[in-house]
Structure 1
């Protein structure tokens, strides 16, 4: 097996997305998608990319509460086996957030391989909650160690996955959520029926669901009824919760 040397680069936090709060009381770190193996530097994210757009939405929704939103810029694109570069960069980003803002609660929100990084890095004591959108998770393999879930204890976890995702297997995120639910009751998973990896058809609904979850878990605002029901329901109900079309339109404007 080829050895993946650690790139001689440093991760960094992108500029604050959306309006900057007067005083930061919490932070959300957006973890972009990556690749299974790659030592290349990630390309610049387009202004219209999903992580940036989601971060701006979260910053607007949480400005009054003091939410700061940043995209994490990885050292390289790849997870790279046991090196787990993206998870290590997520760990660094949480440390940097605490250094910059002090003892504030942090939510890790990742897409694809970034979702896997968010789940792995959730053990940091500053992390209150995790959002994994269409997370890339490895195939089950009895010869290998399963994806860890113990680090999720004490955190609130939201997984969102399109049922027609052809790039990251939604069944694998369901199996992961099943195992995670045994270690931590505060895990829920929403299915976006007939949508693919980019969740383009339901992007507004996914954004509204994520904003509701992030503000509730960081600042104690009341979660919407679907989130409350999903967190309280036993498996498999709370792990196959359908995301309704139009979700968010009836929520109170923040």
Structure 2
């Protein structure tokens, strides 16, 4: 019988010596294997488990609910956030009101890259927006995640090294295995109709598209924020406000105007 993965998370009510050993022994008696384990949040610990039957998991939950030293907070088939929490020892923060918005700070770049790489690996169309202030690491994270996901990245519009505004793709660049990166500021402020025709073509591909500055992108296009599958916010620290004032006060296309905002 094929084994199934489960995610167990519990909060420690009373941290006494040997607690983890007791839980490990309980899992062993129920013939449930531990794949990985890590602290995920303050006094919480997360485990990825492997079980032959759901009955084993039901028995595990009923026994753990009688233990006064812990409180089971999650016991379910693992989601992507669960796996990353065990891998990195922290949970990805999501917006309370908008569940498709995920928040990171610069100290969590490793977690962000891992998260985006897992999104890139999913087949089919994915539209991902990423917000953040200048030089916080947005473009570098997008590219690093594409390397982790074994995806070829293509800048459709960008100012990473120099101003890039593509008007066409060459043979081989139209591929569902490619990752298309669009700078919403560059496209919205500088591009011509040929560039927008290319973007519309790319949007029809069953591939991953990453839009930097999605708010500026939708202001100048027919696309809406509701069209995005994921919105990622990257800050230098938790209290930083993401604002487009540097863009609005800048004269784009003159001198080093592009280099002020991002990269």
What TM-score results when the alignment is normalised by the length of structure 1? Answer: 0.27
Who wins on radius of gyration, i.e. which is larger?
2
TM-score for the superposition, normalised by structure 2: 0.26
Higher RCO (Cα < 8 Å, 6 or more apart):
2
